[in-house]
Amino acid sequence: MRVLIVEDETRIADFIADILRSEGFIPEVANDGEAGWFLGSTETYIAAILDIGLPKLDGLSVLRNWRAEGLDMPVILLTAKSSWNERVDGIDAGADDYLGKPFHMEELVARLRALIRRATSQKTTVLEAAGLKVDMRQMRVFINGRPLKVTPLEYRLLVHLLLHRGAVVSQEALVEHIYYRDQEPESNAIEVLVGRLRRKMGVDLIETRRGFGYVIADAPA
């Protein structure tokens, strides 16, 4: 679950990235508006956290550019100001949520999760399918009621498939969403990861659609 952070204050950007990483996300940081616009336009993210006051290109312009390009990823705007006019400008530009600085990190994470649930039609932080249960708040996985020990990669793969339950997700999309940008997985990495999860779970909930990708069905076959 890749999240783009566009924030010019390095300390704040790194702090947000560290927290999101601990929450199971894959954060990527851009420190100015032009870099943020480019990354958002050329890479795939599940959501973006965008500061308004940025060098080179302000956050509202970045957001307007993304929306003009047809990008519909959820965006939380951050600002040192909290004026009513600025909030209206942000919503008009296409923001999904708005948070004034200083803010509590717990609130930012909660709002981010809420936007992701809304965007993926999920209503809860618990994802379930045929005996598989993933608690995204506690980052715990259960199979038929028993705890299942998984690696961060396995966890991110399960969450991504469950968030898109019923839809086939390609290997390329899985690589984009569960690996860090500087990682270069082997060509069969996803196949190996899925095989390992199947053995751990003891059930074949992850279906392979040859030539297309993987899917966790809405209902057991």
What is residue 182's predicted lDDT score, i.e. its pLDDT? Answer: 67
Q: How confident is the model at residue 220 (pLDDT cuts 50, 70, 90)?
A: very low
How far does CA 147 lie from the centroid of its chain?
24
Write the pLDDT tens digit of every residue in 33-58: 999 999 999 888 889 999 988 999 99
Where in the chain are the domains? Answer: 2-119, 126-216
Write the pLDDT tens digit of every residue in 191-217: 999 999 889 888 788 888 888 899 987
Domain 126-216 = CATH 1.10.10.10: yes
Tokens 């209503």 map to which residue? 123
The rounded distance, in Å, linking the Cα atoms of 184 and 102 is 36
Write the pLDDT tens digit of every residue in 103-161: 888 899 988 988 887 776 666 678 888 888 888 878 889 998 899 998 888 998 988 88
Do the Cβ atoms of 30 and 181 come closer than 8 Å? Answer: no
**What SS3 class is residue 64?**
helix
Do the Cβ atoms of 43 and 67 come closer than 8 Å? Answer: no
| Same fold across 2-119 and 126-216 | no
Do the Cβ atoms of 3 and 181 come closer than 8 Å? Answer: no
Superfamily of domain 2-119: Response regulator (3.40.50.2300)
